[in-house]
Structure 1
Amino acid sequence: MSTLVQLVLAMLTGGAFSTIVHAVMNRRRSNAEAAQIIAEAAASLVGPLNERLGQHEQRIQVLEAENAHKTTLLDEAIGFIRDLLAWAGRLLPGERTPDIPDTLRDELQL
């Protein structure tokens, strides 16, 4: 509020009213300044977090692609081992094939 308006108000209504109006205006300005500071602080924190989130999303995409590739390779390898064991059983009937590791037994299901 301008000083001229304060002076006019003080002359017309007395100093108390002018003081109250001045205090209210200062408080509003202080609240606006505080809100601006909070908004700037939030923006400065959110920016780096958004950047890190983007990096994590990219890393997740890479890991998901790697996982899909490794899963495909594993499925193909298990199928190949299954075929080799069946082939060995037909080629050498009655011969003992190498023991299947316990961790693969369920996957190979012979």
Structure 2
Amino acid sequence: MMPDVTWVIQTLTMLALAVISYFIKDLKKSIQEDIADNKQRIEDTNCKVEKLEGEFNNFKVEQAKEISAQFKDYVSKSEFVRVTANYERKLDKIYDAVMTLKTGNKES
């Protein structure tokens, strides 16, 4: 009777190892498929990021052109100060000329 029991235990042990091996093999295959899927998703995401970077760079260039086009119609601060100073000098000359005429008329 003893030999039959050892044979049954050995058979059950072999079946248990076979089932465990099958599940480990299946788990390994599943993990490899997930890794391959993740690699593909990463590549797709990298392509999308590169595309978005290109679009963003184009957008930045367009915005820079638009901003520079808007500011070409404006006067810089230094140019404004220079022109205002020129007008003030001309007004001072006119004022001096008027005062000269006014004081010259009183003296006559």
TM normalised by structure 1 equals 0.57
Q: Which has the larger radius of gyration?
A: 2
The structure whose residues are more often helix, as a share, is: 2
- Counterpart in the other structure of 1:57: 42
For 2:73 and 2:3, locate their aligned partners in 1 and report how far apart those are by CA, in whole Å. Answer: 103
In the TM superposition, structure 1's runs of 4+ consecutive aligned residues that sit over 4 Å from their partners are none
Unmatched 5+ stretches in structure 1? 1-14, 91-110
Which structure 2 residue ranges, 5 or more long, are not aligned?
Answer: 76-108
Kindly, what percent of the aligned residue pairs are identical?
1
Q: Under a length normalisation based on structure 2, what TM-score does the superposition of the two structures give?
A: 0.58
Residue aligned with 1:52, SS: helix
Q: Deviations over 1:15-74 (max 9, x none)?
A: 1x3233222211210111101221232244334333322211111110111121112111
Within 1, Cα distance between the matches of 2:20 and 2:7? 20
Matched, 1:74 2:59: yes
